[in-house]
């Protein structure tokens, strides 16, 4: 199983970025994929999750209405569309995969995810 993130960078406040998590080594529809982020000195935070088969999604309150998670099964890729970015969104963003359906009470549990990417840096300047 391999997860590779890309799309991070430096953007001004109010700008947009699209992160990509390209996957391989497993049956795409069998997995859920979640984006986490971690800023220096802060705990890792679950950002958004998608169950690949039915495309049910979950969002942290801090990004609800600004971020959109989506997937493309043909490309085996999960995207995180980030709009109206704020300086507090600055962090390393990781995607993680789990061979279980995630629901509203479990999607944010980082210890449940067995596969992680290497991360991509997002920096939002004010």
Per-residue pLDDT tens for 54-93?
Answer: 999 999 999 999 999 999 999 999 999 999 999 999 999 9
Percent of the chain with pLDDT over 90: 97
The mean per-residue pLDDT over the stretch 24-44 comes to 95
Q: How far apart are CA 47 and CA 69, in angstroms?
A: 10
Q: Please identify which residue in the block is written with the tokens 């801090």.
A: 62
Task: Residue 61: count other Cβ atoms within 10 Å of its Cβ.
Answer: 6
87: left (phi over 0), alpha (psi -120 to 50) or beta: alpha
Q: How far apart are CA 24 and CA 85, in angstroms?
A: 29
Q: What is the pLDDT of residue 21?
A: 98
Helix, strand, or coil (residue 59): strand
């Amino acid at each position: 199983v391999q997860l590779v993130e890309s799309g991070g960078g430096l953007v001004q406040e109010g700008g947009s970025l699209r992160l990509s998590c390209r996957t391989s080594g497993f049956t795409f529809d069998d997995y859920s994929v979640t984006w986490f982020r971690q800023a220096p000195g802060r705990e890792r935070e679950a950002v958004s999750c998608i169950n690949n088969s039915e495309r049910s999604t979950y969002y942290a309150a801090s990004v609800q209405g600004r971020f959109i998670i989506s997937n493309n099964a043909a490309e085996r890729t999960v995207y995180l569309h980030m709009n109206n970015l704020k300086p507090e969104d600055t962090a390393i963003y990781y995607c993680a995969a789990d061979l279980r359906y995630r629901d509203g009470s479990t999607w944010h549990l980082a210890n449940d995810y067995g596969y992680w990417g290497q991360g991509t840096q997002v920096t939002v300047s004010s």
